[in-house]
A and B are shown apart, each in its own frame.
Chain A
Amino acid sequence: MKTLRFDRRSIMRGVLRGGAAVALGIPTLDMFLDGNGAALANGRPMPVRFGTYFWGLGLTDTPQGTRWVPTKTGHGYEITPELESIRALKDKVSVFSGFRAIGDGKPNLVHWSGLAAIASGSAPGATNTMDSPSFDTIVADAIGQSTRFRSLDMSASGKPLSNSTYTGKAFATPEVSPLALYERLFGDGFQDPNNPDWKPDSRVMLRQSVLSAVKDQRDALAADVGKADRIKLDQYYTSVREMEKQLALQLEKPEYNAACLIPEKPEADKRGASIEVVNENSKTMARLLAMALVCNQTRVFNFVHTAGASETYLAGDSKIYHQYSHDEPTDAKLGYQINTSRLAGAVMQGFGDFLTELDAVEEGDRTVLDNSIIMAYSDTGYAKIHSLENIPMLLAGGAGGRHKAGQHIHTTGEPVTRVSLTAMQLAGAPVGEFGMGAMKTSSAVTEVLA
């Protein structure tokens, strides 16, 4: 599996930069000796994969009670109604409650500030921008360099939504259809590691030369541009380099990988924003993603289930989720919004299904989920009032054994960035500190770190 070359420079840089007690991904002797699924046939460890999973409108946590925060903390937390979908996998999922996004005097940009705080470490000044790169890009820089795609972006509700940004202004372009995702992953340019007749395509070298003419002109082009345009051109040239890397990989024979099986092509795309359609798309995309991870197409992914002000709905119902979350009265007897909570459960079903697909694919004794760390998060706590407190976050997957999963961690008002930092460290990114202002933190949630 040739994609598993260690980028020593980035590891060293990490040590110098943060020096945090992070597993840096250097293979230990144990791992070399392990022949049972924690390591590859050639002795190198299974790569840890990092993913983000976003859904809109949080979960229901009312003053009268809660539909999602378990009462028990630590291991063996109980399954609450809106977490029903993760019941079967709960030992592989840690639940984080009571964390909050701190605005530092910035306005609460509804359905944006919360997610931006988690992803970029600070509350931004304007909707649809972030003040720093999103955390997945930091992880991708650290662990995504050797794969065909540095990261993979997907959106299940038909709209091109992504919270992933290098510049804070331009966001990644996600795949919005399972069929397109399939084509991108397993269509033209896919190197089947199990093809016995593999030989390098001489045309690839010619394609590289096409890029070099563009690169030759970089200095002349960038010499007299303004600051903002320079950032744009830098991003453009980063994209050119990504393409070069993809081409370079096509010239190297991929290592034999028995677990890598080209998945079945999805059927024609289903359009629609109803929760049934979104969840079905989530499931199909997760199925393709699982194999993309096994086949080493990427090690980092971002998945958006629904938008912040979620427009999903139960088929046949004229009201969308966002409208329910604000309009629906709280049931006096039950103490929560009945339809809103039902929708929250349906939305989380998408997450349960997503994890189930990743857990269904085995790599040795473990599953893809065991070798991944996925941070799921939302934009608000209690959506009815756009609360930035108690935004639900979950860490799913074993991170190759680094994650002491299956715990409920509760705090009262600690910054959300602590969980983001924890996720990055579990993924093996050399990061010791994350966030800005009141959300700056260097303390990961050590309870879940092995």
Chain B
Amino acid sequence: MTKLVQGVRKYGLLAAAACAASGAMITHARLPAASPTLEGPVKVAARRVTESQYRNIIADTFGDWVQVNARFEPERRQDGLLAIGSTQLSITPVGFEQYYGAARSISDQVLSEGRRATTVPCTPRDAEQADDACAATFLRSYGERLFRRPLTEAQIDARLATARKGEDFYDGLELALTSLLIAPEFLFRIEVAEPDPSGAARLDGFTKASRIAFLMWDTGPDAELLAAAKSGALDTPEGLQRQVARLQASPRLADGVRAFFTDMLQLDAFEGLTKDASIYPKFSQTVADSAREETLRTVVDQLVTRNRDYRDLFVTRETWLNRSLAAVYKVPFVSQEEWAPYTFPEESGRSGLLTQVTFLSLFSHPGSSSPTKRGVKLYEIFFAQPTPDPPADVDFSKVQASSEGTVRMRLIEHMTNEGCAACHSVSDPVGLALEHFDSLGQVRMLEDGKPIDVSAVLNGKQVSGAQGVGQFMRDNPRVPATLVRNIYYYGVGRGFDERDETFFEQEAQAFAAAGYKVPALFGQIATSPYFMKVVIPSGAKPVPARPEQVATRHSADSRRGAAR
């Protein structure tokens, strides 16, 4: 059971003992240590931007008419989140080829003859020749949006050298822009800590701006946020609060919420999801894409548009459908629009997120449902409680069941077998209660002609079917507590640390007190000092600051003057 104990320790308080036969649980969370001191700026993290962040930054910087045609490298999940696992990822040669191709294509579009008049903020003296002044203006203005901070003179000079090699001004500019778009400063979120006036480490203003922008809007900081970073406003609680409130009130909060739930609900699993065509002929790529969209629309509609209680996500019968999904759910599609709201009738047996095609089909086999898979994922996603792999030496001969009978009969063997029971007795009951839904999420009451028993005992309480599971989730305080934890780690991009527990407890209480409103929770976490906590990575030490770290407005102006 070594792995089991590991799992529990790793996930700390929230990984309650349900799965842990050993019952080990850490309850004594320590307070975080005081901020370290610094002598100069230091880079504390380099996190690869995600696909959606990349796309959003490009659209924000140049306009949403720019086509981004690239295949992004897969991300990696750790402690339940891609945002944590992907902090360890870099860019492989294959990935770089893709970024490089995308960069060339974007530069080509931005500086095409039809666009350059609006995209380039100045006119070169002679379009046949390089023009450092105009090129620098261009690079400075777009570079700041792409790098999420002002470019250093060295960064600009390197691109000016590239630009001079072009066949003419715009060709050179295109090369220089391509170079910005493949730069690590664009492709990675490079987070910087600096000493505050007392010498204590704090995240610098641009890092703060990026953290809140990526968390709340899933994109880089806009001009106003960058200005707030530059002016030092973000270094004051009031200034930070003002910006967070602005982001929270914006419709773009929906983008941030979408991106977060795409990660937490593991919607990336749709990539490569297949179903056996002869058993589930209705499944198609269209259905898969629609199911993903159904879930995200439901989440945004319930949590952002209507500011509902997060917990109701597990019991609501309201959802969003298009024509394909309506056919899968076997209900009429009543709208002239592409998407329409729909409320399942009570007798449908459906109950919130867990009974959408997304959850039911993602965590199933291609040709059959899997109560174990569903149970394991339910605890992993909504309780941050991972299930260890089965022990390698488990004696499967004891659980050899005939192929006859229902899944329940086979799984009961697991639950009564000593080596399996610790985990299967947690994952399986909840999964078995969802058995009225097949591998595509369609209702079925029979299996091999026999009625399916969907009763289960969860936390000592007898429940029946998906609606029972939904209510169990609705009432379980660990479900909203896990959301708090996940939003925090998603935002800071660090793995689980048991020292964070006290913070989570406080935040979970505040979330509850405010009625479990998710937009407010995003704001609450973003403004918490804990969110901007500095963790100096091992091996990082400041280098002495050089005189010209950041191109100031003054030096930019003087350069332009000199070029004239």
Contact assessment for A236 and B537 in the assembled complex, using a CB-CB cutoff below 8 Å: no
Report if A66 contacts B (CB, 8 A).
no
Task: Identify the closest chain B residue to A325 (Cβ).
Answer: B396
A347 to chain B, nearest CB (A): 15
| A-side contacts of B395, CB under 8 Å | 385
Report if A89 contacts B (CB, 8 A).
no
Contact assessment for B162 and A233 in the assembled complex, using a CB-CB cutoff below 8 Å: no
Task: Identify the closest chain A residue to B71 (Cβ).
Answer: A180
A129 to chain B, nearest CB (A): 9
Contact assessment for A225 and B159 in the assembled complex, using a CB-CB cutoff below 8 Å: no
A81 to chain B, nearest CB (A): 22
Contact assessment for A239 and B540 in the assembled complex, using a CB-CB cutoff below 8 Å: no
Pick from A174, A226, A232: contact of B89, CB under 8 Å: A232
Stretch at the interface among B275-283, B303-311, B326-334, B478-486: B275-283
A392–B354 Cα distance when bound, in Å, is 40
A149–B100 Cα distance when bound, in Å, is 15
B442 to chain A, nearest CB (A): 14
Stretch at the interface among A20-28, A268-276, A363-371, A412-420: A268-276
| A-side contacts of B392, CB under 8 Å | 107-110, 113, 385-386, 388
Pick from A107, A224, A315, A384: contact of B3, CB under 8 Å: A107
| B-side contacts of A246, CB under 8 Å | 97
Stretch at the interface among A35-43, A90-98, A164-172, A253-261: A164-172
**0/1 per residue, A224-249, Cβ < 8 Å to B?**
11111111111110111011001000
A313–B271 Cα distance when bound, in Å, is 18
* Known A-B contacts A170-B90, A170-B92; A213 and B159 likewise in contact (beta carbons under 8 Å): yes
Contact assessment for B183 and A214 in the assembled complex, using a CB-CB cutoff below 8 Å: yes
* Known A-B contacts A209-B162, A213-B158, A226-B540; A110 and B2 likewise in contact (beta carbons under 8 Å): no
**0/1 per residue, A185-227, Cβ < 8 Å to B?**
0000000000000000000001101111110110011011111
Pick from A174, A223, A231, A311: contact of B366, CB under 8 Å: A311
B427 to chain A, nearest CB (A): 15
Stretch at the interface among B38-46, B213-221, B463-471: B38-46
| A-side contacts of B182, CB under 8 Å | 210-211, 214, 240
Of B3, B76, B96, B279, most A-chain CB atoms within 10 Å: B96
* Known A-B contacts A158-B272, A236-B91, A319-B365; A242 and B44 likewise in contact (beta carbons under 8 Å): no
| B-side contacts of A213, CB under 8 Å | 158-159, 161-162, 176, 179, 183
Task: Identify the closest chain B residue to A317 (Cβ).
Answer: B367
B433 to chain A, nearest CB (A): 20
Contact assessment for B73 and A173 in the assembled complex, using a CB-CB cutoff below 8 Å: yes
Stretch at the interface among B18-26, B28-36, B397-405: B397-405
B209 to chain A, nearest CB (A): 20
Contact assessment for A236 and B184 in the assembled complex, using a CB-CB cutoff below 8 Å: yes
Contact assessment for A220 and B154 in the assembled complex, using a CB-CB cutoff below 8 Å: yes
**0/1 per residue, B503-540, Cβ < 8 Å to A?**
00000000000000000000000000000000011111
**0/1 per residue, B75-114, Cβ < 8 Å to A?**
0100000000000111111111100100110000000000
Contact assessment for B91 and A239 in the assembled complex, using a CB-CB cutoff below 8 Å: yes
Contact assessment for A158 and B274 in the assembled complex, using a CB-CB cutoff below 8 Å: yes
Task: Identify the closest chain A residue to B372 (Cβ).
Answer: A323
Report if B389 contacts A (CB, 8 A).
yes
Pick from B94, B277, B393: contact of A385, CB under 8 Å: B393
| A-side contacts of B276, CB under 8 Å | 274, 313, 315-318
**0/1 per residue, A320-334, Cβ < 8 Å to B?**
100100111110000
Contact assessment for A230 and B539 in the assembled complex, using a CB-CB cutoff below 8 Å: yes
Pick from B92, B95, B368, B396: contact of A326, CB under 8 Å: B396
Contact assessment for A233 and B184 in the assembled complex, using a CB-CB cutoff below 8 Å: yes
A418 to chain B, nearest CB (A): 22
Contact assessment for B158 and A209 in the assembled complex, using a CB-CB cutoff below 8 Å: no
Contact assessment for A239 and B179 in the assembled complex, using a CB-CB cutoff below 8 Å: no
A396 to chain B, nearest CB (A): 25
Task: Identify the closest chain A residue to B48 (Cβ).
Answer: A232
Contact assessment for B46 and A172 in the assembled complex, using a CB-CB cutoff below 8 Å: no
Contact assessment for B393 and A386 in the assembled complex, using a CB-CB cutoff below 8 Å: yes
Contact assessment for A327 and B537 in the assembled complex, using a CB-CB cutoff below 8 Å: no
Report if B166 contacts A (CB, 8 A).
yes
A233–B187 Cα distance when bound, in Å, is 11
Report if B17 contacts A (CB, 8 A).
no
Task: Identify the closest chain B residue to A242 (Cβ).
Answer: B93
Report the count of interface residues on A (CB-CB < 8 A).
78
Task: Identify the closest chain A residue to B397 (Cβ).
Answer: A330
| A-side contacts of B100, CB under 8 Å | 243
Pick from A150, A232, A329, A330: contact of B93, CB under 8 Å: A150
A230–B88 Cα distance when bound, in Å, is 11
Task: Identify the closest chain A residue to B280 (Cβ).
Answer: A318
| A-side contacts of B93, CB under 8 Å | 149-150, 238-239, 242-243
A242–B185 Cα distance when bound, in Å, is 19
* Known A-B contacts A227-B537, A239-B92; A221 and B185 likewise in contact (beta carbons under 8 Å): yes
| A-side contacts of B389, CB under 8 Å | 109-111, 127
Contact assessment for B96 and A242 in the assembled complex, using a CB-CB cutoff below 8 Å: yes
Report if A153 contacts B (CB, 8 A).
yes
**0/1 per residue, B225-243, Cβ < 8 Å to A?**
0000000000000000000
Report if B477 contacts A (CB, 8 A).
no
A130 to chain B, nearest CB (A): 13
Contact assessment for A329 and B94 in the assembled complex, using a CB-CB cutoff below 8 Å: no
Report if A159 contacts B (CB, 8 A).
yes
Pick from B45, B393, B541: contact of A108, CB under 8 Å: B393
| A-side contacts of B403, CB under 8 Å | 327-328
Report if A176 contacts B (CB, 8 A).
yes
| B-side contacts of A184, CB under 8 Å | 97
Query: Which of B538-554 touch A at CB < 8 Å?
Result: 538-543
| B-side contacts of A274, CB under 8 Å | 274, 276, 366
A385–B279 Cα distance when bound, in Å, is 29
| B-side contacts of A207, CB under 8 Å | 104, 175
| A-side contacts of B190, CB under 8 Å | 221
A190 to chain B, nearest CB (A): 13
* Known A-B contacts A210-B179, A271-B274; A229 and B537 likewise in contact (beta carbons under 8 Å): yes
A169–B87 Cα distance when bound, in Å, is 11
Contact assessment for B179 and A214 in the assembled complex, using a CB-CB cutoff below 8 Å: yes
A394–B133 Cα distance when bound, in Å, is 63
Report if A443 contacts B (CB, 8 A).
no
Contact assessment for A232 and B46 in the assembled complex, using a CB-CB cutoff below 8 Å: yes
A217–B185 Cα distance when bound, in Å, is 10
| A-side contacts of B393, CB under 8 Å | 108, 385-386
Contact assessment for B90 and A327 in the assembled complex, using a CB-CB cutoff below 8 Å: no
A384–B538 Cα distance when bound, in Å, is 42
A153–B188 Cα distance when bound, in Å, is 24
A236–B179 Cα distance when bound, in Å, is 14
A159–B278 Cα distance when bound, in Å, is 21
Report if A401 contacts B (CB, 8 A).
no
Report if A128 contacts B (CB, 8 A).
yes
**0/1 per residue, A355-392, Cβ < 8 Å to B?**
00000000000000000000000000000111010000
Report if A160 contacts B (CB, 8 A).
yes
Report if B223 contacts A (CB, 8 A).
no
Contact assessment for A225 and B43 in the assembled complex, using a CB-CB cutoff below 8 Å: yes
Pick from A169, A234, A272: contact of B277, CB under 8 Å: A272
20 contacts across the A-B interface (CB closer than 8 A): A173-B94, A176-B272, A180-B71, A221-B185, A226-B43, A226-B45, A226-B537, A227-B537, A227-B540, A228-B538, A232-B188, A233-B184, A243-B96, A273-B274, A311-B365, A315-B278, A316-B276, A320-B367, A326-B396, A385-B395
**Residues of chain A whose beta carbon lies under 8 Å from any beta carbon of chain B:** 107-111, 113, 127-128, 149-150, 153, 157-160, 167, 169-170, 172-174, 176, 180, 184, 206-207, 209-214, 216-217, 220-221, 223-236, 238-240, 242-243, 246, 271-274, 311, 313, 315-320, 323, 326-330, 384-386, 388
11 more A-B residue pairs beyond the given contacts A224-B540, A315-B276, with a C-beta to C-beta distance below 8 A: A210-B179, A223-B543, A224-B42, A225-B539, A226-B45, A227-B537, A227-B538, A243-B93, A313-B276, A319-B367, A385-B392
Q: Which 8 A-B pairs have the closest CB atoms?
A: A226-B537, A108-B392, A227-B539, A318-B367, A235-B90, A239-B96, A226-B540, A318-B368
